[in-house]
């Protein structure tokens, strides 16, 4: 097997075409979700301009362009990821939703693909900057998410973390791969409260956890898929954000901005770190909002039933590094 030939055939066969289809579906669904969110922001800006320039405005009508020129019957399959856009559709939508094009062509999808070799992963990390990427991991693990706020808003960082995990696994640096996995889990949690990715966050988690997180090991702990646990945790984060918006009245600002991304990161960083960091034993910031209300109590039970980290039976030193990433079987 060549050093940069990617996956072993047995692991590739195990993930198989179904995983590649899932990546493609989530990629399209993410493009559609970002297009919808970007065009909503565009509509808000147009409405604000219209209200400011018309003392007695008539009914506001959105121009039939970009994403909004696509009928609901066509939008819905895009949002589900079962219909994929042509290049012309992508470019038409990008005129008013440029972030949608960035999401569609993000390095995340290439980093996740079982067909991508380790040489390409190395190029992704080098293009991002390995020192900067490792700095992001350190900032997230040490509770300083505000230092990397802008990086948490983009899928490029998520993709670079996936590539870093694959490289660290290939280099048999299991502790580094696990730490990068913790940072990746935080990034995915921040996506769940992102204006762009909130509606697609659970699907992003499923495809990324299967491709990069599940199986990473360190100190007798191992990442699980945590599908139900993440779904409940992200739902609580979103409900908490909506409650804060209602408390401060920003939900009434149909013609203005809501919370800034910096504020959203600041509001959720400690809870997210508590969820995605082993050994913190559920800090007060996480426990307090999980304990409040019957819905949150159910979420706490779901996290206990489907935790992100599970204990392993490995006891010998040589077994500590014997994890199997779904994208890398050594």
Are 35 and 100 a contacting pair, CB within 8 Å?
yes
Instruction: Out of 131-135, 147-151, 166-170, 320-324, pick the least confident.
Output: 320-324
Rounded CA separation 263/299 (Å): 24
- pLDDT confidence band for 312 (50 / 70 / 90): confident
Q: Give phi and psi for 222, each to the nearest 5.
A: -140, 140
Structure tokens at 114: 């079982």
pLDDT, tens digit (0-9, with 9 covering 90-100), for 195-218: 999 999 999 999 999 999 998 999
Residues 49 and 45: their CA atoms lie apart, in Å, by: 6
Label residue 305 by pLDDT band (50, 70, 90): confident
Average pLDDT of the chain to the nearest whole number? 83
The answer for residues whose C-beta is within 8 angstroms of residue 226's C-beta and 6 or more apart is 205, 209, 306, 307, 308
Q: For tokens 């697609």, what's the residue?
A: 200
Between CA 19 and CA 21 the distance in angstroms is: 5
- Alpha helical stretches, state H, 95-173: 98-104, 107-112, 118-128, 130-141, 155-170
**Can you tell me the mean pLDDT for 179-195?**
96
| Band (317; pLDDT cuts 50, 70, 90) | very low
pLDDT one-digit tens code per residue, 30-72:
999 999 998 887 777 777 666 667 666 667 676 788 898 999 9
Note the pLDDT of residue 236: 86
What the block records as the tokens of 234 is 């992200």
If DSSP codes are grouped into helix, strand and coil, which group holds residue 311?
Answer: strand
Task: Report the 10 Å Cβ neighbour count for 1.
Answer: 9
What pLDDT score was predicted for residue 176?
95
Tell me which H or E stretch contains 232: helix 227-248
> What's the CA gap between 330 and 324, in Å, rounded?
7
Instruction: Count CB atoms within 10 A of the CB of residue 322.
Output: 14
pLDDT digits (tens, 9 = 90+) for 210-258: 999 998 999 889 999 999 999 989 988 888 888 877 777 655 544 445 7
**Residue 151: pLDDT band with limits 50, 70, 90:** very high
pTM equals: 0.86
Give bridge partners of residue 251 from the DSSP assignment. Answer: none
- Secondary structure class of 280 (helix, strand, coil): coil
Q: What is the pLDDT of residues 61-116, one digit of tens each?
A: 767 888 989 999 999 999 999 999 999 999 999 998 999 999 999 999 999 998 88
């Amino acid at each position: 097997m060549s050093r940069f030939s990617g996956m072993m055939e047995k692991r590739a066969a195990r993930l198989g075409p179904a995983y590649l289809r899932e990546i493609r579906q989530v990629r399209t669904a993410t493009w559609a979700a970002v297009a919808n969110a970007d065009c909503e922001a565009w509509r808000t800006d147009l409405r604000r301009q219209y209200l400011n320039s018309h003392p007695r405005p008539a009914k506001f009508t959105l121009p039939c362009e970009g994403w909004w020129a696509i009928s609901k019957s066509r939008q819905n399959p895009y949002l589900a990821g079962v219909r994929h856009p042509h290049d012309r559709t992508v470019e038409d939508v990008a005129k008013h939703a440029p972030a949608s094009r960035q999401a569609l062509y993000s390095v995340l999808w290439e980093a996740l693909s079982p067909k991508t070799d380790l040489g390409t992963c190395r190029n992704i990390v080098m293009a991002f900057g390995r020192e900067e990427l490792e700095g992001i991991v350190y900032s997230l693990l040490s509770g300083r998410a505000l230092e990397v706020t802008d990086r948490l808003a983009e899928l490029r960082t998520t993709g670079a973390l996936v590539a870093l995990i694959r490289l660290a696994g290939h280099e048999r640096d299991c502790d580094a791969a696990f730490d990068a996995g913790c940072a990746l889990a935080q990034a995915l949690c921040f996506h769940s409260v992102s204006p762009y990715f909130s509606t697609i966050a659970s699907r992003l988690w499923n495809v990324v956890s299967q491709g990069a997180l599940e199986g990473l090991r360190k100190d007798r702990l191992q990442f699980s898929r945590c599908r139900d646990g993440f779904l409940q945790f992200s739902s609580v984060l979103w409900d908490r954000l909506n409650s804060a918006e209602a408390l401060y009245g920003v939900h009434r600002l149909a013609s203005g901005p809501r919370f800034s991304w910096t504020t959203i990161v600041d509001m959720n960083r400690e809870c997210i770190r508590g969820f995605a960091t082993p050994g913190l034993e559920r800090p007060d910031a996480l426990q307090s909002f999980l304990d409040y209300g019957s819905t949150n109590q159910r979420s706490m039970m779901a996290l206990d039933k489907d935790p992100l980290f599970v204990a392993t039976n490995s006891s010998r030193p040589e077994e500590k590094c014997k994890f199997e990433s779904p994208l890398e079987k050594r």
